[in-house]
Chains A and B, each alone.
Chain A
Amino acid sequence: MKTYKFLGDLVERFVGQMRRAGFADPLRVVGFGAFIAATIVCIVALSALSGAAQTAAGQQANQSTSGNAENGRVVFEKQGCNKCHGAQGEGVGVPGQAGGVPRIASTALALPAFVQLVRSPKGQMPPFGNQKVSDAEVADVYAFLRALTPAGKPEAAAPESAKKGERLFNAYGCYECHGYQGQGSTQTGGSRLGPPRIPLSAFVSYVRAPTGQMPPYTAKAVSSEDLGEMYAFLQSIPQPAPAKSIPLLNQ
């Protein structure tokens, strides 16, 4: 049953993506035969994924989640995990793609795998060794994350919100260090912001209490609502074309 539900989701997602790509009627454009072929491939793939997911779920049932979730939240913030993953571990972007931060709320990993990931991460995440955080504390963080409600799909920024956010971005002078499109600058030290690589909660958290050269913007200086609008603007900035497609960057 679960497989069929995934399949239904997949078909819906496929049609949705085609429509967003500009095709009014995907089934007519792609052709029924091609669609069926693609669907069969997806069924096979999802069956495998579903099986893997069920296996993982079975393993999880055997994992201890006896850590202290409340202490886990404290450790989560103390170690600055929220600064990349968000206050609720919501993550941002597409994991595996440049700039993405994985969603870790209600993590599907087993505790040993989670500990292993924390100790020896892949990608941009720095390692957290025993001297920084004990096994017990990692277990507490694990419990905290497992207790979180799975986040829904991130919503795209509303166009009007993005426009207002752009005005605010300029009015608050963010462009001084980060550029008018949030592209960042090594000279000013302003990070690349657009499109955002951290979730909104982490964005707000950093603006309030930055750890680098950036001055702190308190709620008195800029409201959380305005920060949300600016985040929407940054979200609306499309990913640029890859460098290899720009002749001037291949000289």
Chain B
Amino acid sequence: MPKRKSAAINRRDFLRSAAAGTAALVTSPAAPSKQPLPNPRSGPPPMSPAAEVEAPSGAEVLTADRTGSDFMVDVIKSLGIEYICANPGSSFRGLHESVINYGGNKSPEFITCLHEESSVAMAHGYAKIAGKPLGVFAHGTVGLQHAAMAVYNAYCDRVPVYIIGGNIMDATKRIPPVEWAHSVQDAAAMLRDYTKWDDLPVSLTHFAESAVRAYKIAMTPPMMPVLLIVDAELQENPISSDAKMHIPSLNPALPPQGDSGSVAEAARLLVAAENPVLVFDRAARTPAGLALLIELAETLQAAVIDRAGRMNFPSRHPLNQTERGREELANADVILGLELNDFWGTIHSYRDQMERTSRPITRPDAKLIGISAATLFFKSNYQNFQRYPELDLDIAGDAEATLPSLIASVKSQLATSRKSALQNRGARLAGAHQKTLQANREAATYAWDASPISTARLCAEIWAQIKGEDWSLVSTSGFVSRWPEKLWTIDKHYHVIGYSGGYGIGYTAPAAVGAALANRAHGRLSVNIQCDGDLMYGPGVLWTAAHHRIPLLSIMHNNRAYHQEVMQVQIMADRHSRGVERAKIGTAIDDPGIDYSKLAQSMGLYAEGPIADPKELAPALERAIAVVKRGEPALLDVHTQPR
């Protein structure tokens, strides 16, 4: 490869050479000012008299046709990044301007965010629908500090996010006082524990290679956020007009597959099992993954438990035994976990009493098999890797990439003589599934007409309005007792998108907006069942949705408290026999109650509420959906039961 001419030159060198030969660019100094000195007690200060009377230091060049940040945008475009989510910051002003002007504000388009946590969480939700990252710009100091919680969520959830942080490395170039406060020696340090890779490029060529490398690393399972720290000087320094800049090609790395011998052994155990159970968590990365998981389950006629890290398995499939998973686990002789975040927690029960205890819920002779790319990547400090599971067969590899060989091996080992046994198993499971569906319906009847509205009624009313649409639930269902999984027909890969990963509150609202942004290209109806406590971490993302015309139906699950935390305080109060009457101190969100419809309206959204009568839900949903179908966000404030 021929050695390329250094493309970027520093601003001082460029200005010196430009002064010699580019007289046309030299501007005349302003005439000496005769105006009086400003009155320090009133009005804004005028331009510095000194600056206006001093002679110029030389042939100063004040403009440039092309800068490093222009090239950086070329690199970003080459990666196919469609959006940049950012709250503006001076340490990346060069990149900001290059995106909107040089790049035409198109692929990537700048999305205005009101908080860096919103920027990253939007990227989190977007990636789970789009299957690729969007970009985030942030100050290398205060911006990344704001972003940190959302980065941790994405890290735990194995989601790629592409983050560029601005910084000013050269101390002599920082304008006091703000740029000193916003500069840092090692900006990536604060996120290094929960990002997959970071770099600090010192040249544009270095940037180009690291930018492509970062994308490749982020998108190779296990996927995670990556971070580039980009110096402001590198962004803003001009590039000589004859510079030939190279952008490395992006050739994605193939996801790692499990060892073929181990996969064959896993297939042998599954085929021989009387009661195999398949537990899926973050298993289906793509629509193809969903199809493969269905094929595996149907080939084995095995019970499936969906831990809902991704959309893994149809809710109405007869082999779906999620709601009665514990019963199946207790009888299982082989348990296969695919990208299962918490294998140990899946096969144990535990109690949060004075003495914390746990016990296995599986047979002692049950064989445990795991296939996960998470086995290939560990960091020490944060403990999201969960308790150590004693697996009989631990296969390091991406589950989705390993599924074709596993299915082929199962099929090849499945003797015809087993056909009848498998059919009987499938029939048993189908019967149990039907009984569970009916039990779910009966359970939903309790508190059906209650006010505040039960979460079952809320979800049934939503389903009635969206079931005929091409819909996508872009929020987690855990806070509404998983009623969508129990009452809705969920069978497409974008129907549900899992949860936050790190259980950091404040994820849902921005992730929903990000996912809706990705759904917008497909004309899907994005639905967000939005917890009140979560929204108040960063309600400004509603404005982002309105400003960028991101269609999203948000239905407030307004239960007026951090109910999980109320329960935690109750546990302590009960343990000490002190009464629980004060458990709402520090946990309730009332007195005054927050009017979420007014909050949303103030940011340009169509909004109604509060709605506490279940009979009012259906017409309100119809009106809000009509707004969303016009391409705008809408919000309904609904007073609900706790869970």
In the complex, A184→B444 CA distance in Å? 10
Binary per-residue interface labels of chain A (154-181) against chain B in the complex, 1 for a CB within 8 Å, 0 otherwise: 0000000000000000011101110111
Chain B residue, CB-CB nearest to A217 = B574
In the complex, A175→B487 CA distance in Å? 23
Q: Apart from A180-B447, A221-B573, A250-B441, what are 20 other A-B pairs with CB-CB below 8 Å?
A: A172-B581, A175-B641, A176-B563, A176-B567, A179-B643, A187-B479, A187-B480, A187-B643, A213-B351, A215-B353, A215-B570, A215-B574, A216-B575, A221-B577, A242-B442, A243-B441, A243-B442, A249-B445, A251-B464, A251-B467
User: In whole Å, how far is B480's beta carbon from the nearest beta carbon of chain A?
Assistant: 8
Counting residue pairs across A and B whose Cβ atoms lie within 8 Å, the total is: 120
Interface residues of A (CB under 8 A from B): 98, 171-173, 175-177, 179-188, 190, 192, 194, 212-213, 215-218, 220-222, 240-243, 246, 248-251
The 24 listed contacts between A and B (C-beta, < 8 Å) are A171-B581, A173-B581, A176-B567, A177-B643, A179-B447, A179-B450, A179-B641, A179-B643, A180-B452, A182-B446, A184-B443, A184-B446, A187-B479, A212-B351, A218-B574, A220-B577, A221-B574, A221-B577, A241-B448, A242-B445, A243-B444, A248-B457, A248-B460, A250-B441
Contact of A176 among B447, B487, B577, B642 (CB under 8 A): B642
Contact of A243 among B438, B481, B641 (CB under 8 A): B438
Chain A residues near B641: list those with CB within 8 A. Answer: 175, 179-180, 183
Chain B residues near A213: list those with CB within 8 A. Answer: 351-352
Chain B residues near A251: list those with CB within 8 A. Answer: 460, 463-464, 467, 487
Chain B residues within 8 Å of chain A by Cβ, number: 48
Which residues in window 430-470 of B have CB below 8 A to A? 438, 441-448, 450, 452, 454-457, 460-461, 463-464, 467
**Do A240 and B448 form a contact, CB below 8 Å, given A187-B482, A187-B643?**
yes
Chain A residues near B456: list those with CB within 8 A. Answer: 183
User: In whole Å, how far is A216's beta carbon from the nearest beta carbon of chain B?
Assistant: 6
The answer to whether B583 has its CB under 8 Å from any CB of chain A is yes
Chain B residue, CB-CB nearest to A247 = B464
Chain A residues near B447: list those with CB within 8 A. Answer: 179-181, 183, 240
Binary per-residue interface labels of chain B (567-604) against chain A in the complex, 1 for a CB within 8 Å, 0 otherwise: 10011011101111101100000000000000000000
The answer to whether B49 has its CB under 8 Å from any CB of chain A is no
Contact of A218 among B441, B467, B563, B577 (CB under 8 A): B577
Q: Indicate if the CB atoms of B478 and A172 lie closer than 8 Å.
A: no
The answer to whether B422 has its CB under 8 Å from any CB of chain A is no
In the complex, A241→B444 CA distance in Å? 10
Chain B residues near A242: list those with CB within 8 A. Answer: 442, 445
In the complex, A248→B462 CA distance in Å? 10
**Do A249 and B567 form a contact, CB below 8 Å, given A180-B641, A181-B450?**
no
In the complex, A112→B219 CA distance in Å? 67
Chain A residue, CB-CB nearest to B566 = A176
Chain B residue, CB-CB nearest to A193 = B446
